[in-house]
Amino acid sequence: MLKVGDKAPDFKLSADDGKNYSLKDFAGKKIVLYFYPKDNTSGCTAEACDFRDNIKLFNKKNAVVIGVSKDSIESHIKFKSKFELPFLLLSDETLKSLKDYLVWKEKSLYGRKYMGIERTTYVIDEKGKIKNIYNKVKVDGHIEEILNNI
């Protein structure tokens, strides 16, 4: 179980810009690492656009916003382009980081159980420690909550 104060699990994931990134690539910055279920779905699009529309406020707080899902890089590139997202989208098709961050969970929709990503945001401080965890995120008001506690 991850908790505030723990060292954030490292990752090595491919991004929409063609590069691979790990946690240490962002040392010295705050990281808003948000996990979302799927590109181009209504909730995920609203969340991504909220981050996009407030990116300058995150930048002022020396914070980088990074989105992670299991979608392919190709899907991320289209999603990023379509909504002009000014931050990295990382792909975890192997599910390793999704499991390390405890966001790969059993979900239920109309009585059908399936495995998927629970919308979750981790705020990681400049030294790689977890500062805040937001589980079962509701998109409305989420950005303000993060900005008030970063």
- Reported as a single tens digit per residue, the pLDDT across 52-84 is 999 999 999 999 999 999 999 999 999 999 999
pLDDT at 1 over 90: no
| pTM (2 d.p.) | 0.94
Cβ neighbours for 10, distance < 8 A, ≥ 6 positions apart: 22, 23, 24
How many Å from the N-terminal Cα to the C-terminal Cα in the chain?
22
Kindly state the DSSP code that residue 61 receives in the 8-state scheme.
T
Domain spans of the chain?
28-149
Catalytic center residues: 44
CATH code of domain 28-149 = 3.40.30.10
